[in-house]
Amino acid sequence: DGGITQSPKYLFRKEGQNVTLSCEQNLNHDAMYWYRQDPGQGLRLIYYSQIVNDFQKGDIAEGYSVSREKKESFPLTVTSAQKNPTAFYLCATAPGRGYEQYFGPGTRLTVT
Amino acid sequence: AQTVTQSQPEMSVQEAETVTLSCTYDTSENNYYLFWYKQPPSRQMILVIRQEAYKQQNATENRFSVNFQKAAKSFSLKISDSQLGDTAMYFCAFGVNTGNQFYFGTGTSLTVIP
C-alpha cells in the first residue's frame, strides 16, 4: 500500500519543548517537502530535500530543522526558537521536477 | 519572484450548477506546470487537475476543466454539475522545471449549497 504517512495526527506540547514530526513515504520519490498551513493563508514552505543528505531552506525555515538520512524519511523538528509553532503541518513528496506533489494527511501541532 | 494570486477568498454555488474559480500567477519562467488542489474538511490535499504550460489545449478531468491563458498568466478552474462533495478549499499552484519548489495561492473556500 503506497503512500505518505505522517504521525501523529494531533500533537500537543508545552512551550519551550522541541518536538519532531514524522513523515515517511514508500513511493520511492526523490523530493520531499514540509509546509505549514495557518488559517486564511496558503501553504508556506519550510524546508525541502531533493536527495538524501541534502536539504534547502524554504520561505519560513527559522525555528525549524530537518534531516534526510534515508530516502523514505524526512522528519521535521519544531524547536523552542519557533515563535508561533501552533499550526497544521503537511509533508509532501514528488518524483522529480515538473511533477505534482503528493501530500500526507498532516499533523496538527498545538503548543501551549 | 514567483507569485500566485487567488482573489476570491470564498464562493458558493447551488448543487448541479457551474462555478469558476480564478487564479493568476506571475513568473519569468517559460517552462512550468500549473495545478489545482482540493482540500476538503479532512484537510487531505488532493490533486484535481494539472496543466503543462507548453500545451495550448486546456486540461479536463471529468467535471473539472481549466481555462489556461498563458499570455494573461491566468489559470481558472471550472467545476460543472457541482456536487456536495465539492465543498472544500481549492488551491492554485505552479512549479517550474528549473527548480523544485511549488508556489501556492491563499485558497478559495467553495461551498456547494443543496
Determine the pLDDT at residue B80: 98
Distances (CA, A) of A84 to A111, B5, B66, B69: 8, 25, 37, 39
Percent of chain A that is helix, strand, coil (3-state, to 5): 0, 50, 50
Residue A39: pLDDT over 90: no
Q: Which residue has the higher pLDDT, A58 or B30?
A: A58
Quick one: cell of A104? 500526507
Q: Flag residues of chain B having pLDDT under 50.
A: none
Question: Does B91 sit within 8 Å of A97, measured CB to CB?
Answer: no
pLDDT grade, residue A2 (50/70/90)? Answer: low
Which of B35, B44, B100 is closest, CB to CB, to A105? B44
Q: Which residue has the higher pLDDT, A97 or B91?
A: B91
| DSSP per residue, chain B | --EEE---SEEEEETT--EEE--EEE-S-SSEEEEEEEE-TT---EEEEEEETT--SPPEETTEEEEEETTTTEEEEEE-S--GGG-EEEEEEEEETTSS-EEE---EEEEEE-
Chain A contact set for B50 (CB, 8 A): 100
Q: Which residue has the higher pLDDT, B37 or A98?
A: B37
Mean pLDDT of A57-84: 95
Residue A17: pLDDT over 80: yes
Q: Within an 8 Å CB–CB cutoff, is residue B2 touching chain A?
A: no
Q: What distance in Å separates residue A40's CA from the closest CA in chain B? A: 7
Chain B contact set for A41 (CB, 8 A): 106
Determine the pLDDT at residue A110: 95
Determine the pLDDT at residue A49: 94
Averaged pLDDT score across all residues of chain A: 93
Mean pLDDT of A87-105: 91
Amino acid at B66: V
| DSSP per residue, A3-15 | -EEEE-SEEEE-T
Which of B96, B100, B104 is closest, CB to CB, to A43? B104
Q: What distance in Å separates residue B74's CA from the closest CA in chain A? A: 18
Determine the pLDDT at residue A61: 96
Cell 462555478 locates to B19
Determine the pLDDT at residue A96: 79
